[in-house]
Amino acid sequence: MPSAQSAKPSRQAARPASEADLPATYEEALSELERLVAQLDAGQLPLDQLLGHYERGTRLLAFCRGRLQAVEQQIRVLEGGEAKPWDPA
């Protein structure tokens, strides 16, 4: 008798997120996130794919936020702990 686990197809979204699942850079993560948002906005995905894209998007968003916070912290260290306004000039 086959086990219940072998009878079900495996779903990538069901496994826990790991560092290996995430892009190597902020720019790659942002690009993938933008593609996912465009697909979600189109409204043409089946429900399972919609959920998987949403879950992937939340992981990518958390990754991007983490990278931005790390850079902000490094800038504060370089500026002696004081946040300064951005001057593009």
Mean pLDDT of 63-82: 87
User: Does the pLDDT value for residue 13 go beyond 50?
Assistant: no
Token digits of residue 13 = 């979204």
Please check whether residue 23 is in contact with residue 32, taking contact to mean a CB–CB distance below 8 angstroms: yes
Give the model confidence (pLDDT) of 48-61 as tens digits: 999 999 999 999 99
Angle at alpha carbon of residue 45, lines to 40 and 46, rounded to 5°: 135
User: Does the pLDDT value for residue 2 go beyond 50?
Assistant: no
| pLDDT at site 76 | 83
Domain total in the chain = 1
- Number of helices (H), then strands (E), belonging to the chain: the values are 3, 0
Q: How confident is the model at residue 15 (pLDDT cuts 50, 70, 90)?
A: very low
Give the model confidence (pLDDT) of 21-68 as tens digits: 999 999 999 999 999 999 999 989 899 999 999 999 999 999 999 999
> In terms of Cα–Cα distance, which of 32, 86, 77 is closest to 56?
32
**CATH value at residue 62:** 1.10.287.1040
Neighbours of 63 (CB within 10 A): 22
Domain of 58 in residue numbering reads as 22-78
Q: Is 7 among the domain residues?
A: no
